[in-house]
Amino acid sequence: MSKAGAKIRKNHILFNGIRYFRGNAEEIQVGSYGEKRTPSTAKYLENKGYITILTSAIEQPTSVEISSFECTEADFNANGSDIYKGVAIDGEIEVNYEDASSAEVKLVKFSLPASSMAEYANVDDNALEDLREYGNKARIAHQIWVVMEAELADAVVHSTDTVISVSRGRMEFKLHGKFTSSSVTTVTISAGTTFAYLLAKPRWDYHKKKKRNEIVDLDDDQWGGG
């Protein structure tokens, strides 16, 4: 795709018209929830916990070569860090700007449909009560971008039988007969490897906080929004 539509900036990335947050990304996973913070220097999710996700409902992942993004070294190295954790076949890798500019690594997006996330939040009593208390600042992360070895990224994206599960800030998936002599290779994506994320704002069944019973929908909240 054109670089004009894909940009990596210090505080966000832009892809297909959507602006994803980068602030505090190392603490965020699919299902992270908390309060959206908007200081003058950055906007980010202050992670307070993880929604219990009951079944594997992650949509088919999307991968993008980082070299296809318009990106400078300064923008890539957000928050003064020049090394990022990525996901490898046998664990984690360290990725710098030169690595990212090559074809050796890709960004992979993992998403949980907003409707599914709302359902899980509504049956997680602790998370639901927290979100009520956070009021208009309450947010849930339902999409994340992860840096991943290119070969692994291609296998994940093109596999038709990959099962992805999420539990308490850790995502795990199994690839069948691809990388080892074993019939199944298990890959774990833990907190610390997220590069960017998208937030969702709960829409409640009642506008007054004390009378809210459940979330009726989630609305995307992009970086740069209110």
Tens-digit pLDDT profile for residues 84-139: 888 988 788 889 898 888 878 899 999 999 999 999 999 999 999 999 999 999 99
In a domain, 165, yes or no: yes
| Mean pLDDT score of the chain | 87
How many Cβ atoms from other residues are within 10 Å of residue 12's Cβ? 22
Amino acid 107: pLDDT: 93
pTM of the model: 0.91
Which of 5-9, 49-53, 160-164 shows the lowest per-residue confidence on average (mean pLDDT)?
Answer: 160-164
Range 63-82 burial, b when 16+ CB lie within 10 A, else e: bbbbeebebeeebbebeeee
> In Å, how far are 16, 27, 72, 221 from 226, measured between CA atoms?
20, 22, 27, 8
- Determine the structural domain holding residue 103 and report its residue range: 3-221
In a domain, 86, yes or no: yes
Query: What's the rounded mean pLDDT across residues 216-221?
Result: 96
Q: What percent of the chain has pLDDT over 90?
A: 49
In a domain, 173, yes or no: yes
Whether the pLDDT of residue 13 is over 90: the answer is yes
**Reported confidence tier of residue 179, pLDDT bands at 50, 70, 90:** low
In a domain, 158, yes or no: yes
Domain count, the chain: 1
Q: Which two tokens stand for residue 76?
A: 């890539």
Whether the pLDDT of residue 62 is over 70: the answer is yes
In a domain, 226, yes or no: no
